[in-house]
Chains A and B, each alone.
Chain A
Amino acid sequence: MYLTQPIPASPASTGARIKAYFAQTRLSLLVRSPIALISALVLIALVLIAVIGAPLALETANFQSLRLRFFPPFSLEHGWIYVLGADGLGRSMLAQLIVGARTSFIVAGAAVGLAAVVGTSIGMISGFVGGWVDAALMRVSDIIVTVPSLLLALAVLFVLEPSIFNLVAVLAVSRLPIYLRVARAQTLELRERVFVEASRAIGATNLRIIWRDIRPLVLPTVMTVSMLELASVMLAAAGLSFLGVGLQRPDVDWGTIVSEGREYLTRAWWATVFPGMAIVITALAANFLSNWLRASGDPLQAGALAAATARQEDALK
């Protein structure tokens, strides 16, 4: 099997040894699956832009100019920073997108991460322990689902200060049930598997069984769900900003730009389409990458993946 091939005993050179080691890592699989590789590169680029570009572009992003109102894209007349046009207040779209990237990644990333970690932990415990603990936790989850998340967010953010921290907390709570249910459903199935019983029979504690036998098998599903969630959380954050309880200028994220641009959709499509595309591209890349991560993280599928990649390469030769 490809992934577990031992390192050749006496490689000819250091180069060959490095090559042999590299061949065993997941990275080598990534390099050979184009979609996953492109997705990874896109995400890395976006994160780099957010981290490095945002502080540099902050001032430009908030610079308003009536002269540049609805300046159309794809023109270098006013410098490359206006290449994606300007919005209703004459602010550079490109600069706003760069600044928005940072906020979007922080808000959506933190909210999704928080919801996934907390939701999955509670879900696994709920499913594993069962009984009244499970029933109580699931009813709490039902209540969260029943309350419209927008209403909940509005109420909470209205009472508390609208801040990035509160926004993340509210988004995370309203997205919790998805992870809770996915993790619980999988745990219910996994806890009946023989290897869980075998772990019990050798004296493993419940915590260890959850951590070593259940978590690794729940994780791929949860990861796929969180990647899907990334885009919807970005849009949910935008909705809240739109209603005036989310981010406030000068803070801006992609969702805010979309909802602001909506007003001029017929006059200036670029004010909506570009930030929208940014969200779509991020979500797509995250999905492709999570799909690949799921396959390559599973020993069984990783073998098939390696074999399929090798076959493709042979066919090309």
Chain B
Amino acid sequence: MTAAAKIMQQPGEALIEIHDLTVQFRTAGRAINAVRGIDLSIGPGESVAILGESGSGKSVTGKAVMGLINAPGKVSGSVRFAGRELVGLSETELQDVRGPGLAMVFQDSLDALNPVFSVGEQIMEILMVRLGWSREKSRAEAISLMQQVGIDSAEKRLSSYPHQFSGGMRQRICIAMAIALKPQLLIADEPTTALDVTVQAGILKLIAKLQRESGMALLFVTHDLAVARQVASYLVVMYAGRIVERGPIDALYARPAHPYTRALLNSNPGSVSHWSQLHPISGNPPDKTMVFTGCAFADRCPRAVSRCRAEAPALRQVAPGRDSRCHFAEELLDAH
């Protein structure tokens, strides 16, 4: 944890503190390093987005926080949630935290609901089992939850089955289920990836609204820069299982302090007026079995020099509230 992030996020008041989180999958003698040591803390009511391309470890980070990494995955490091260490907790102990503490919305909304029960039944079950509520009380709350997530004639749709809803509506139901127990932190794992753009906008507005109104913290995992900006105020950029840059989202957009962030901004179709101005990042993300001696981004970095391949940069403060994992972060900042 660097000093800057602590200043930014007010020490001692963090809702969740992730320290040196590592996730490794060992299969057939190979070790796949999905997450290679992440430090991050989120305060109550904060909204943080994790941005990264496929395979950067962003989704695995979200799942690791929830304790949803299955064998052969191995999680090490520390995740302290509301003063309680989550790494190493048994499945039974985690069940208390999941729901009222942490909740999650998944990417694949089409498969995230049980196909053989009506959606009302599924929302009500959570309330009846976890809060011990009566059927009638749960029913009323389920209707209110469905209204909160913007489902018209909620009372009528209570008895509908998942296949009778569109993808966007199903994701809204998933969100209703996730917030049913009033979680302190909602982890959203690319919740709009499977949806088309118009529906996506509605879901993002909904998540932002719910986060604002309920005061829950939000960890939003995405590969889409524009999406991150709509829901989060703090951005964490991941590359090859590590955080390469983080800071307040607007500052990061205006003056990226890492070549990777900069390259991402330049390859975003939304930021240019003509396709010839687009600059895709050449090459592919590094092999996850690799162990780096230098900077993981060096092979694709336009600014890479010999020092980058020899010496691994540390995540360090480069400006107030800004951290970057680049030897030349200050130069990049000044260049803008």
Q: Mark A12-24, 1 if CB is under 8 A from B, else 0.
A: 0000000000000
A4-B159, A205-B95, A208-B129 given; 12 more Cβ-contact pairs under 8 Å: A4-B164, A195-B113, A200-B68, A201-B68, A201-B103, A202-B98, A202-B130, A204-B95, A217-B115, A217-B116, A298-B115, A300-B161
Determine if A159 is an interface residue (Cβ-Cβ < 8 Å).
Answer: no
Residues B68 and A197 in contact, CB atoms below 8 Å apart: yes
Per CB-CB distance, the 3 closest pairs between chain A and chain B, nearest first, are A203-B98, A203-B99, A299-B161
Contacting A at CB under 8 A, from B90-143, are 91-92, 94-100, 102-104, 106, 108, 111-118, 125-126, 129-130
Q: List 5 A-B contacts (CB under 8 A).
A: A4-B164, A195-B114, A202-B181, A217-B116, A300-B163
B174 located at the interface, meaning its Cβ lies under 8 Å from any Cβ of chain A in the complex: yes
- Complex Cα–Cα for A200 and B95 (A): 8
Segment 194-240 of A: residues with Cβ below 8 Å from B = 194-195, 197-206, 208, 212-213, 216-217
A34 at the interface (CB under 8 A from B): no
Query: Smallest CB-CB separation from B91: which chain A residue?
Result: A206
Q: Knowing A4-B159, A201-B98, A212-B125, say if A299 contacts B116 (CB, 8 Å).
A: yes
Question: What residues of B have a CB within 8 angstroms of the CB of A212 in the complex?
Answer: 114, 117, 125
Which chain B residue lies CB-closest to A195? B114
Residue in chain A with minimal CB distance to B111 = A194
Contact B159–A203 (Cβ < 8 Å): no
Q: Interface of B with A (CB < 8 Å)?
A: 66, 68, 71, 91-92, 94-100, 102-104, 106, 108, 111-118, 125-126, 129-130, 156, 159-161, 163-164, 174, 177-178, 180-181
A1 to B99: give the CA distance in the assembly, Å: 32
* Cβ < 8 Å to B, chain A residues 112-169: 131
Question: Which residues on the B side are within 8 Å of A300 (C-beta)?
Answer: 115, 161, 163
Q: Which residue of B lies closest to A191 (CB)?
A: B70
Q: Is there a chain B Cβ closer than 8 Å to A8's Cβ?
A: no
Contact A203 B97 (CB under 8 A): yes
Question: CB of A193 within 8 A of chain B?
Answer: yes
The answer to whether A4 and B161 have CB atoms under 8 Å apart is yes
The residues of B that contact A250 with a CB separation of less than 8 Å are none
The binding surface of chain B is classed by DSSP as mixed
Give Cα A242–Cα B82 distance, bound, in whole angstroms.
70
B116 A216 Cβ-Cβ under 8 A? yes
* Residue A6 is within 8 A (CB to CB) of chain B in the complex: yes
Other-chain residue from B66, B111, B129, B159 in contact with A195 (beta carbon distance below 8 A): B111
Contact residues in A for B108 (Cβ distance below 8 Å): 194
A198–B116 touching, CB < 8 Å: no
CB neighbours (8 Å) of B91 from chain A are: 206
Residue in chain A with minimal CB distance to B187: A201
User: Which B residue sits closest to A198, measured CB to CB?
Assistant: B112
Q: With contacts A213-B114, A217-B116, A299-B116 known, is A203 near B160, CB below 8 A?
A: no
CB distance from B132 to the nearest CB of A (A): 14
Closest to B126 in A: A202
Contacting pair A203 B112 (CB below 8 A) = no
Contact status A202-B177, CB under 8 Å: yes
Given A202-B181, A203-B98: A299 and B66 within 8 A (CB)? Answer: no
A203 touches B95 (CB 8 A): yes
Q: When the two chains form their complex, are residues B130 and A299 in contact, meaning their CB atoms are under 8 A apart?
A: no
Report the bound CA distance from A4 to B121 in whole Å.
Answer: 13
The CA of A309 and the CA of B96, in the complex, are separated in Å by 47
| Interchain CB contact (< 8 A) of B163 among A131, A198, A202, A299 | A299
A298 to B126, CA, bound (A): 22
In the bound complex, residues from chain B placing their C-beta under 8 Å from that of A197 are: 68, 106, 112
Q: For residue B118, which residues in chain A have a CB less than 8 angstroms away from its CB?
A: 4, 299
Q: How far is the CB of B40 from chain A (nearest CB, A)?
A: 19
Q: Cβ of A194 and Cβ of B178 under 8 Å apart?
A: no
A4 CA / B100 CA spacing, docked (Å): 32
| Residues of chain B with a CB closer than 8 A to A213's CB | 114
Nearest to B107 among chain A residues (CB) is: A194
Please, which residues of chain B bring their CB within 8 A of the CB of A216? Answer: 114, 116-117
Cβ-closest chain A residue relative to B108:
A194
Cα distance A212–B180 in the bound complex, in angstroms: 18
Which of chain B's residues have a CB closer than 8 A to the CB of A193?
111
A208 to B96, CA, bound (A): 14
Shortest distance from the beta carbon of A25 to any chain B beta carbon, whole Å: 14
- Among residues of B, the one whose C-beta sits closest to the C-beta of A214 is B114
Task: Kindly list chain A residues whose C-beta atoms are within 8 Å of the C-beta of B116.
Answer: 216-217, 297-299
> CA of A55 to CA of B129 in the docked complex: distance in angstroms?
48
Min distance, Cβ B135 to any Cβ of chain A, angstroms: 16
Question: A131 to B160, alpha carbons, bound, how many Å?
Answer: 37
Q: How far is the CA of A1 from the CA of B97 in the complex (A)?
A: 38
Choice from A6, A202, A217, A297 contacting B99 with Cβ under 8 Å: A202
In the docked arrangement, what's the CA distance between A4 and B163, Å?
Answer: 12
- Which residues of chain B come closer than 8 Å to A202, judged between CB atoms? 98-99, 103-104, 126, 130, 177-178, 180-181
Give the nearest-CB partner of A298 in chain B. Answer: B116
Q: Which of A6, A194, A198 lies at the interface centre, i.e. has the most chain B CB atoms within 10 A of its CB?
A: A198
Contact for B130 among A6, A131, A203, A298, CB less than 8 A: A203
Q: Which residues of A contact B159 (CB under 8 A)?
A: 4, 6
Say whether, besides A6-B156, A195-B112, A216-B116, A201 and B161 are in contact (CB < 8 Å): no
Bound CA–CA A112/B174 (angstroms): 39
- What residue in chain B is nearest A216 (Cβ atoms)? B116
Q: Mark A184-197, 1 if CB is under 8 A from B, else 0.
A: 00000000011101
Q: Which residues of A sit under 8 angstroms from B164, Cβ to Cβ?
A: 1, 4, 303
CA distance A102 to B169 in the complex (A): 52
